[in-house]
Amino acid sequence: MISIVQSTVTRQIKDFAREAGFHAAGVVRYEKLEDAERRFLAWRDKGYSGEMSFINRYEERRDAFFAETSGWAKSIIVLGVNYYQEEKKGSSKKGSDPFWNKRGLTPFLMTPFLTLGKVARYAWGADYHKVIRARHGALIEKIKSGIAAQARFLSSIDTRPLFERELAQRAGLGFIGKQNQLLSLEFGPWLFLSEIITDLELEEDKPHRGDCGTCRLCIDACPTGAIVSPRELDASKCIAYLTVENPGEIPPDLAPKMKNWFFGCDDCLTICPYTAKSKETDWPEFRAGEGENPQWVNLDEILSIKSQGEFRRKFKDSAISRINKKQAVRNAKRVLSAGS
């Protein structure tokens, strides 16, 4: 049974999380999620994970993680950061406006002039792994100095074998939609999720019980048919996978369906009715600077990059650094071929 002291400590930690800038915070008990793992392994057995080595090595990573945390971990603090930005219709930076933006047209009315590739919102600002890691550090120090100096913590930002959307739903941050993303009643589908594992025994939140009802807009909107059924995604067909995680060539039957996406894809998120709840992020690290147009990359510039080192330097502060020069060139050529 959770005591009054533990309940008070939990509230204090959530207050500290808000002071650190996190937009959502909840707590779950540290435990193995056996049902989630069974669903995951059944999904992987269908071949839906593609060539993502970190997923295909799940058992090895899981065993190492539980060996590292067993015996001391009691609770998981689940955190959400709103990263949403509105699309910019133009730019004050000379030469960076897409041809169609200047004329109020859409890209596919002007495909012969397609020299820019589109970037998913999560990569418009600084690399979220680095940004959130720093905020985790500040939050942990705040908890240590204000509550429990000897407490133990372990940070995770897409780095541990955790079912973080399942954890987020259990922590009350939202529910998992048919496109398999967490949907927040306050921020829509635009939350970066992360976790802090701790030896503090905290008060667990109640899970969110929402669902999408009969809506299937995301399923119908997916250009490559990657959402095969509610909450079941064939990642090997997903544009986000094909442009980021896929190390090889893009299948010729899927390439024409990928439109002008250079890095990632937001189609199933932007069409979701919960996007109506989105609001501009207040984290400056995720906001574009004045005069920038972060939703596009210049494909001619990508093709002119001479080396992997030059590519790394250009995108060192961006999530685009998750791909290498070879993948970037592949993506650029595919977008350009779509407009030829």
What are the residue ranges of helices labelled H in 31-154?
34-45, 53-56, 58-69, 99-102, 128-146
Tokens 């922590």 locate to 171
Rounded Cα distance, 296 and 261, in Å:
9
Are 208 and 165 spatial neighbours (Cβ–Cβ below 8 Å)? no
CA distances from 129 to 28, 105, 224 (A): 22, 35, 28
> Sign of the CA dihedral 167, 169, 170, 171?
positive
Query: Which residues have C-beta within 8 Å of that of residue 124, sequence separation ≥ 6?
Result: 85, 286, 288, 294, 295
Are 119 and 179 spatial neighbours (Cβ–Cβ below 8 Å)? no
Which one is catalytic: 35, 45, 127, 158? 158
| Distance from the first to the final alpha carbon of the chain | 65
Catalytic annotation on 282?
no
231 Rama class: left (phi>0) / alpha (psi -120 to 50) / beta: left
Active site residues: 158
